[in-house]
Chains A and B, each alone.
Chain A
Amino acid sequence: MQLKAQSKWGWLIASYLFLAGLGGGAYVTGVVADFVGGDWAALAKIGVALGFPCVLVGSVFLIADLGTPANFWRAFMRPGTSWVARGTIIISIFMVIGFLHIALWLWPFGVLEEGSGVRHVIGVVGAVFAFGTMIYTGLLLGANRPIAFWSTALVPVLFLVSALSTGTMAVILISALGGEGHSGPVSTLARVDIVLLVLEAIVIVMYLQATHRVPESRAAARLVLSGSVAPLFWLGVAAFGLAVPLVLELLSAYALDGSGAAVVAALAAVSGLAGGWCLRQVVLSGGVQAPLRAGRFEFALPNV
């Protein structure tokens, strides 16, 4: 019996999961940087500025995946029903706050520039919804009972860690492009990301380790580690997503300085961001449905 993975949620949904995480992570990075203040001010602005647009573009991917997008607004009408509905509301609130934060602080109005009180309050509330955005994308997959590879408590954790890491890297990348890549805060941020990457690697190992209980998750792990998804996993996630950024960030934070450090940090970020997308796609492509059982027979569902 050959168990197959789902094919209904593809790269559009992977891009949505990736961008929603990235936006939430960058925003939280920005808010934290704003609390630190001082020479972190530039990073704070970059992080906050990335939140809303990334999640907005992500939502466009999500809507593009709908079969009847004209009914999209109905997802707001039944918040009690499901994680899709609750998530839609969470990310909408996040986008509203993220938008206001940008509009009132960065452009076109600078009214929040003076005094940090109100800005910090907005930032904390926004960060709560940013965390909601990062975590719910994992809960959403977990609602699918027949797909054991998704219904584990580790998917939301994995997506959260990856979201924080890709968010950090996006901030590093933009500041490096803006010529800030060798400032003290950027190299501190790279050190934070090193911790996040190590954490992410540990969560991925635990996640794949916990797949032995049922045939569908064993099939998923086989698909990811040695099957048709393996190139994306080993190259995209393990190499570009974890190993390359880890080595480059270690170099840029501890061995290099000046513009060399900036270039290396930017390369690490580009590689790590690509890896973040691959991670979402790998998890989606591993969505193997449980076989149906009758007596001694196990039936694999075709075209799910």
Chain B
Amino acid sequence: MPRYGFVIDLKRCYGCYSCQVTCKAANHTPKGIDWARCVPAETGTYPTALRQMLPLVCQQCREPACKEVCPTGATSQDENGIVLVDKNLCMGCKACIMACPYGARQTAEKWQTYFPDADGGLDPYEAYAKKEWEKTHGYGMATKCDYCKDRVSEGRLPACVESCPAKARHFGDLDDPESEISILIRREYGFQLNPEFGTDPACFYLPPR
């Protein structure tokens, strides 16, 4: 069984937010929910100030902090290491949202429209997205990135990987030493975010410049 992982190359990312928007389109997530997102940070002072973007997804941790606190058994790991939430078991206690060090878990209270028409109604695209979201997820329960599980099972790449114009995102099998991501991690000093939390993420980053 492959152990799916990500490599995100921080020196290639220029912060265009394509991943964030593509994820919304691919997964029909409501306003306020961003399973893939870009977070900016600055360091130093003028004239040596630097700005860097940090693209985030669920890190599909081997020792997920979110699963450890879930009281209902709604959180599980599949054979590829993907951490999943069963919407029928989740009671929406938000314990996992608090426990995840990477801000990967989010919950929607209701559908909010991005582009309200004159009387607050939904355009056909949003109406479609709302219907899809209510079919696959819903309101009140915890939701998260699943590395586009369904696309991957059809042999496609996760949507954010496919859309990244800077080619900063790589997806593959961590257990295969010859996979692109394993080689990148080895050759380019791949590291995990905040290893002190002991969650052993499956998402690796290549150092910023």
Contacts of B21 in A (CB 8 A): none
Known: A77-B72, A84-B69. A297 touches B92 (CB 8 A): no
- The contact of B69 among A6, A83, A304, by CB within 8 Å, is A83
A292 touches B54 (CB 8 A): yes
A11 shortest CB reach to chain B, Å: 14
Q: CA of A299 to CA of B70 in the docked complex: distance in angstroms? A: 26
> Which residues of A from 221 to 271 have beta carbons under 8 Å from B?
none
- In this assembly, does A112 line the interface, its C-beta being within 8 Å of a C-beta of chain B? no
Complex interface: chain A residues within 8 A of B65 (CB): 145-146
Please, what's the 1-or-0 string for A150-162, where 1 marks a CB less than 8 Å from any CB in chain B?
A: 0000000000000
Of the candidates B73, B94, B138, B193, the one whose C-beta lies within 8 Å of that of A293 is B193
Complex Cα distance, B141 from A290, in Å, reads 24
Q: Which of A50-58, A64-72, A100-108, A124-132 contacts B (4 or more CB under 8 A)?
A: A64-72
Contact partners of B68 in chain A: CB under 8 A: 81-82, 143
- Of B101-109, B124-132, B160-168, B178-186, the stretch lying at the interface with chain A is B101-109
Q: Give Cα A293–Cα B196 distance, bound, in whole angstroms.
A: 11
Q: Are A290 and B69 in contact (CB under 8 A)?
A: no
Partner of B89, one of A9, A71, A292: A71
In the bound assembly, the distance between CA atoms of A263 and B139 in angstroms comes to 49
Q: Is A205 an interface residue (CB 8 A)?
A: no
Sorting the interface of chain B by its residue count into under 10, 10 to 19, 20 to 34 or 35 or more gives: 35 or more
Q: Is there an interface contact between A287 and B73, defined as CB atoms closer than 8 Å?
A: no
Q: How far is the CA of A67 from the CA of B142 in the complex (A)?
A: 8
Contact between A147 and B98, CB atoms less than 8 A apart: yes
Q: With A81-B73, A300-B39 in contact, do A146 and B197 touch (Cβ < 8 Å)?
A: yes
Give complex CA distance A302, B34 in Å.
11
Q: Is B205 an interface residue (CB 8 A)?
A: yes
| Additional 15 contacts, C-beta under 8 A, given A297-B54, A297-B208 | A8-B98, A67-B91, A67-B141, A71-B88, A74-B89, A81-B72, A88-B71, A145-B198, A289-B101, A289-B103, A292-B39, A297-B52, A298-B43, A301-B103, A303-B32
Could you jot down 27 A-B contacts, CB within 8 Å?
A1-B41, A66-B91, A67-B107, A67-B139, A69-B91, A72-B91, A74-B73, A78-B71, A81-B72, A88-B71, A143-B69, A144-B99, A145-B99, A145-B197, A146-B100, A147-B98, A289-B101, A290-B194, A292-B102, A293-B194, A294-B10, A294-B54, A294-B205, A296-B43, A297-B208, A298-B43, A300-B39
CB within 8 Å of A: which residues of B? 10, 32, 39-44, 50, 52, 54, 56, 65, 68-74, 88-95, 97-103, 107, 109, 138-142, 191, 193-194, 197-198, 205, 207-208
